């Protein structure tokens, strides 16, 4: 059975302006949401603090839990339901990073039992200091930035045979970022500036394949972060792992399309680039859709049946697979076309 019939010729590149508009709207909404919320909502991994997971054996009210916490001077703690309603599990988040011992656990159980009239079990207590949280935030940003740079070396070397040029650019940027970070320059600002410089250098050095791939990856990460901000979901280490996985998935799809473009450039060398890009996307469409569907099947199973611990990771992966598939078709290749057209005019 053929999923996509041979000879299918959907005009993807002809609809690129619609895709540009849609992508621009999603990116603007994502950035606006992050600014409106005062930045991403960090979990204790990055913000520091304590996380207490508790389970009640009968349905209880959050107000009753809060009442019990206030007797332990935890008035500023936030209480959130965890998992399904019938599980009667809750997460307590506080900004306290010390003082949790067996005595505290016993007092907490006693007071919560009195305030809710239900037996309670403390399932876990996690603590992260504020300095550790800041270090983890910075390392997460560095991990994503370095991943992008190493991706550019691979893309430029494979498709344009510019290993030394791309490697030199990456080495210079990594060195500059490292040196400036030693002088306590704001890491988020530093990474943002480095990404802008990277794209400018790619333009002038004519690393068009790498630029298309990087723009698509930045597009995917920004929109995923924006959706997390819109739904007010916390950023934790598993979410950073999900974002890095999304980058790998999106890049894989993009490389498949780029490979076919390289083949078709030799096969249809007399045809215009727009035709070749469109032909290449159509040639790989069946693989792109089947890969997305099989991956979505797995991550949706994790999302609905994996439990509360892995829920946010699976949610990020679900968004990433959808956005990554879209960007490999409507962002990476059209950026390549736009770059080539612009260079011809100049």
Query: Phi then psi for 340, rounded to 5 degrees?
Result: -60, -45
Residue labelled with tokens 């320059």: 185
pLDDT average, residue stretch 312-324: 93
Q: At what angle do helices 208-230 and 187-204 cross, to 10 degrees?
A: 150
Question: What is residue 41's predicted lDDT score, i.e. its pLDDT?
Answer: 84
> Which of 93, 128, 163 delimits the end of a domain?
128
Contact 221, 175 (CB under 8 A): no
> Residue 84 domain-assigned?
yes
Q: How far is CA 139 from CA 14, 17, 48, 143, 292, in A?
A: 41, 36, 15, 6, 30
Per-residue pLDDT at 30 exceeds 90:
yes
Q: Which of 65-69, 177-181, 206-210 has the lowest mean pLDDT?
A: 177-181
123 and 244 fall within a common domain: no
- Residue 63, Cβ density class (10 Å: 0-12 exposed, 13-18 middle, ≥19 buried): exposed
CA dist., res. 44 & res. 141, Å (int): 16
- Long-range interactions of 261-265: CB distance < 8 A, separation 24+: 261/333, 261/336, 262/159
Which one is predicted more confidently, 21 or 14?
21
Per-residue pLDDT at 95 exceeds 80:
no
Question: What is residue 199's predicted lDDT score, i.e. its pLDDT?
Answer: 86
Q: At what angle do helices 208-230 and 237-267 cross, to 10 degrees?
A: 150
CA dist., res. 132 & res. 145, Å (int): 20
pLDDT average, residue stretch 41-46: 81
Query: Phi then psi for 128, rounded to 5 degrees?
Result: -135, 125
What's the token pair of residue 338?
């736009």
CA dist., res. 149 & res. 175, Å (int): 12
Question: What is residue 16's predicted lDDT score, i.e. its pLDDT?
Answer: 87
pTM for this model (two decimals): 0.85
Per-residue pLDDT at 2 exceeds 60:
no
- For residue 75, what pLDDT band results from cuts at 50, 70 and 90? low
Domain of residue 66 covers 49-128
Query: Phi then psi for 188, rounded to 5 degrees?
Result: -55, -45
271 and 292 fall within a common domain: yes
CA dist., res. 61 & res. 202, Å (int): 56
Query: Phi then psi for 53, rounded to 5 degrees?
Result: -105, 125
Contact 23, 31 (CB under 8 A): no
Question: What is residue 180's predicted lDDT score, i.e. its pLDDT?
Answer: 79
Question: Which parts of the chain fold into alpha helices (H)?
Answer: 16-36, 44-47, 62-70, 102-116, 130-160, 163-182, 187-204, 208-230, 237-267, 273-283, 285-305, 308-330, 332-345
Per-residue pLDDT at 316 exceeds 90:
yes
Question: What is residue 1's predicted lDDT score, i.e. its pLDDT?
Answer: 46
Q: Tell me: the pLDDT tens digits for 101-149?
A: 677 778 888 888 888 888 888 888 887 776 777 788 888 888 888 888 8
Question: What is residue 221's predicted lDDT score, i.e. its pLDDT?
Answer: 92
Which one is predicted more confidently, 49 or 261?
261
CA dist., res. 22 & res. 338, Å (int): 17
Q: What single-letter DSSP state applies at residue 92?
A: E
198 and 297 fall within a common domain: yes
> Residue 201 domain-assigned?
yes
Q: How many domains are there within the chain?
A: 2
36 and 90 fall within a common domain: no
> Residue 114 domain-assigned?
yes
Which one is predicted more confidently, 47 or 115?
115
Which of 27-36, 39-48, 60-69 has the largest mean confidence?
27-36
112 and 260 fall within a common domain: no
211 and 308 fall within a common domain: yes
Q: Tell me: the pLDDT tens digits for 224-270?
A: 999 999 998 888 888 988 999 999 898 888 999 999 998 998 888 88
199 and 287 fall within a common domain: yes
CA dist., res. 91 & res. 266, Å (int): 58
Instruction: Give 207's contacts (C-beta < 8 A, 6+ positions apart).
Output: 152, 155, 156, 160, 162, 165, 166, 169, 201
> Residue 6 domain-assigned?
no
In this structure, what CATH number is given to the domain that contains residue 330?
1.20.1640.10
60 and 149 fall within a common domain: no
CA dist., res. 279 & res. 290, Å (int): 18
Per-residue pLDDT at 288 exceeds 80:
yes
Question: What is residue 225's predicted lDDT score, i.e. its pLDDT?
Answer: 92
């Amino acid at each position: 059975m053929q999923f996509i019939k041979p000879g299918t010729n959907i005009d993807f590149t002809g609809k690129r302006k619609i895709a540009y508009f849609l992508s621009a709207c999603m990116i603007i909404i994502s950035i606006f949401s992050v600014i409106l919320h005062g930045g991403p909502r960090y979990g204790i991994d990055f913000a520091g603090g304590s996380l207490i997971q508790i389970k009640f054996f009968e349905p209880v009210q959050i107000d009753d839990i809060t009442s019990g916490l206030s007797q332990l001077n935890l008035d500023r703690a936030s209480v959130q339901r965890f998992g399904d309603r019938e599980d009667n599990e809750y997460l307590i988040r506080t900004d306290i990073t010390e003082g949790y011992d067996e005595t505290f656990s016993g007092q907490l159980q006693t007071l919560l039992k009195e305030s809710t009239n239900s037996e309670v079990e403390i399932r876990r207590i996690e603590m992260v200091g504020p300095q550790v949280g800041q270090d983890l935030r910075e390392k997460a940003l560095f991990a994503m930035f370095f991943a992008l740079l190493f991706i550019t070396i691979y893309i430029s070397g494979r498709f344009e045979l510019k290993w030394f040029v791309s490697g030199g650019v990456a080495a210079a940027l990594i060195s500059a970022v490292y040196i400036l970070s030693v002088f306590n320059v704001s890491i988020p600002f530093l990474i943002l500036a480095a990404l802008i410089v990277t794209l400018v250098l790619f333009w002038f050095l004519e690393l068009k394949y790498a630029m298309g791939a990087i723009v698509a990856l930045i597009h995917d990460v920004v929109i995923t972060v924006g959706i997390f901000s819109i739904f007010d979901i916390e950023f934790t280490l598993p979410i950073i792992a999900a974002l890095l996985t999304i980058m790998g998935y999106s890049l894989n799809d993009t490389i498949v399309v780029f490979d076919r473009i390289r083949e078709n450039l030799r096969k249809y060398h007399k045809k215009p680039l727009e035709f070749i890009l469109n032909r290449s996307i159509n040639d790989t469409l069946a693989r792109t859709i089947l890969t997305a569907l099989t991956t979505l099947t797995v991550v949706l199973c994790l999302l609905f049946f994996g439990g509360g611990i892995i829920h946010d990771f699976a949610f990020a992966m679900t968004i990433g697979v959808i956005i990554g598939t879209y960007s490999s078709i409507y962002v990476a290749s059209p950026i390549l076309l736009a770059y080539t057209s612009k260079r011809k005019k100049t």
